[in-house]
Structure 1
């Protein structure tokens, strides 16, 4: 039997599957939506292996916190259309709930954990892949822990941050720090956290600029060290100017709440190349 454009659009919205896959499933199911969805699911496991060499550069990033623990996860897919599908986002939320309920679980163990229906996280991802016709995988997965923690999801589910603190912290202060990390993408908490290769890169750039400007060789190293200090001020969390009040840096903002308050760990997940 023929299927209408309206039925194809409706099932595609429900599942996020490709147009031709939806049309074929509806035709085979004689217009029965439930049967068509089941057909799409069954094909998922057979097709998933064939997609292993495809790129999954879109997706949904979510984060959550409870007490002193925060976790962030990313379910990856191929297109923005699927990333915005309600069922895809619901799957990501289910995976996040599992990750939050099992602190410090490994990525492999998370994939092997059953959801409410008894099937594992990996089985659910594989099934959703079959329904949509796109490669899917658990991408980013990180957690932090401390005396207190916070999570922040930027609107659109493409960016999230998680932060741990050394002591209890006011919820708004914690959120401000999480949003600072989202906006400014610091390289570390302090200069001690900046990788050695990045430090050398910044020194090398500064030396080259100084030589191009004709500076004497005997002061080039001093100029490079000054440039590195500027880099730390702009790119390490505690030294960065607070985006909501650039008269203070993040360390000063935290110490206005408590003299001993500081960040002990943070993670930032983003779908954008930065």
Structure 2
């Protein structure tokens, strides 16, 4: 250890963010070779990470990237062990970088394929190496959950408060600001379908049965029950269907009318909530 200078240890620490003693040990193991020490630290981190893969990762956030002009967007769910880590700047940047690489790169069918691709925020480093470097600093396991890429004009929004949500929408026409507004609406109002036709028929039929029974209990004659039920179903649609919901920024018009006014057609949306295995999509 006597042959390793304080300056060398400091330089390695600045590059890796790891504790001084770990940096010194790595330099000793590699005879003072800084690049070799970085590799040694990563390899050592892989070994430690491998022993912790059974840990639960129930927290996290969504990296969302939407490029309206170039017609591509992506969303990646990055999970971790504790709520505090989700607020770390490096964790946020990693999630965002993953989404950007997924959108702008060749695409990826698996987390492994995505992690093998180059980072856009640290040249010469893959996403996997960036993820491992962060693990070495905070000693928490990170897992990639769901991921999606849309090759079309998109809007997106990541809502990271007490309830973490990520939204990505595919649109036609309009502009990026309108697409983002609709994405924010989805995160807030959580529609279950894009339009009435895409609602689960069983759900609609169940609601119809409930409304019909309620009308009968009110003593309404059979000849007007059907009209009453159809009228009340519109309220149900306004709660469940994106294009029928009152727009959060102007509840005097529906989301569908707002989009139409802006010359935009919403073709598809994906809404994920952290910790929910299934996605809302319309």
- TM-score, normalization by structure 2: 0.69
**Residue in structure 1 matching 2:270, options 233, 255, 267:** 267
Q: Could you tell me whether the CA contact under 8 Å between 2:108 and 2:114 is conserved in 1? A: yes
Structure 2 match to 1:60: 61
| Runs (5+) with no aligned partner, structure 1 | 1-10, 16-21
Aligned residues: 248
Query: Secondary structure at 1:44's aligned position in 2?
Result: helix
Q: Could you tell me whether the CA contact under 8 Å between 1:190 and 1:239 is conserved in 2? A: yes
- Are 1:186 and 2:203 counterparts? no
More off after superposition, 184-193 vs 34-43: 34-43
Q: Could you tell me whether the CA contact under 8 Å between 1:60 and 1:74 is conserved in 2? A: yes
Structure 2 match to 1:5: none
CA shift digits 1:120-145 (9 cap, x unpaired): x3444344334322221112312334
Q: Could you tell me whether the CA contact under 8 Å between 1:72 and 1:269 is conserved in 2? A: no
1:118 and 1:186, CA in 2 relative to 1: closer, same or farther beyond 3 A?
same
2:141 and 2:185 map into 1 onto residues whose CA distance is 33
Tell me the CA shift for residue 238 of structure 1: 0.7
2:49 and 2:24 map into 1 onto residues whose CA distance is 25
Q: Which of these two proteins has the greater Rg computed from alpha carbons? A: 2
- Map residues 1-274 of structure 1 onto 2, 5 A cutoff: 26-27=20-21, 41-66=42-67, 67-102=70-105, 105-108=108-111, 109-115=113-119, 116-119=123-126, 121-146=127-152, 148-154=153-159, 158-167=164-173, 169-196=174-201, 198-199=203-204, 202=207, 210=214, 222=226, 228-258=233-263, 261-271=264-274
1:143 and 1:204, CA in 2 relative to 1: closer, same or farther beyond 3 A?
farther
2:196 and 2:250 map into 1 onto residues whose CA distance is 22
Q: Could you tell me whether the CA contact under 8 Å between 1:26 and 1:36 is conserved in 2? A: no
CA shift digits 1:197-223 (9 cap, x unpaired): 54455456657x73995879x79x957
Q: Could you tell me whether the CA contact under 8 Å between 1:163 and 1:265 is conserved in 2? A: yes
Q: Could you tell me whether the CA contact under 8 Å between 1:152 and 1:162 is conserved in 2? A: yes
1:256 and 1:143 map into 2 onto residues whose CA distance is 27
| Runs (5+) with no aligned partner, structure 2 | 1-12, 28-33
Taking only aligned residues, the RMSD between alpha carbons, in angstroms, comes to 4.0
Q: Could you tell me whether the CA contact under 8 Å between 2:63 and 2:97 is conserved in 1? A: no
